[in-house]
Amino acid sequence: MKKYIPWLLAALLALALIWALSTQAVSLSDVGLIDMGRVLSESDYAQRLNSQLTAKYDQLVAQLQAAAESEEIDENEKAEQDRAIYAEYLRFRQELETQFQQALDRAIAEAADEANLQLVLDVDLVRYGGKDISDDIIKRLD
């Protein structure tokens, strides 16, 4: 019985999705599309955050090199420093990703409201239809 539970849950979720989509008709003009590749490469805001991450990475690499050149610490201490520096990099990266995601969510919500869109998808998920709002998102992020 237990091996049927995931299939049952998947079927129930599929039925719920079909029901939700059928009760609220969405036309192609109500669908917005975002090209995330363009947003990341053309947005000044995304580029600034990427520059901050690169600067932090360079700073941490310099710290690692300085620690490696120091002969006063043993291998265990060096490994611990490496882990701490890597953890700091990951924390900073996560902070910037969260900051970008919040700004992106706000920009998408504003653009969708202004254009009266009911649904916004990544352009990679759609083969036909929808309105590309990538330029509007890039402008709102900068």
**Domain of 21: which CATH number?**
3.30.910.20
Angle between helices 134-141 and 75-114 (to 10 degrees): 120
Per-residue pLDDT at 1:
44
Per-residue pLDDT at 52:
95
Per-residue pLDDT at 123:
84
Task: State whether residue 24 is helix, strand or coil.
Answer: coil
Task: Please report the DSSP string for 19-40 in residue order.
Answer: HHHHHS---GGGEEEE-HHHHH
Dist. CA 9–CA 2, nearest whole Å: 11
Strands (E), the chain: 31-34, 119-122, 131-132
Which residues lie across from 120 on neighbouring strands?
32
Task: Tell me the pTM.
Answer: 0.70
Per-residue pLDDT at 132:
87
Per-residue pLDDT at 21:
60
Dist. CA 79–CA 85, nearest whole Å: 10
Domain encompassing residue 137: 2-141
Domain count across the chain: 1
Give the number of C-alpha atoms closer than 13 A to the C-alpha of residue 53, restricted to the C-beta side: 19
Per-residue pLDDT at 25:
55
Per-residue pLDDT at 125:
81
Mean pLDDT (10-residue bins), the chain, 142 residues? 58 68 61 90 93 92 79 76 89 94 93 89 82 90 84
Please say whether the beta carbons of 102 and 13 come within 8 A: no
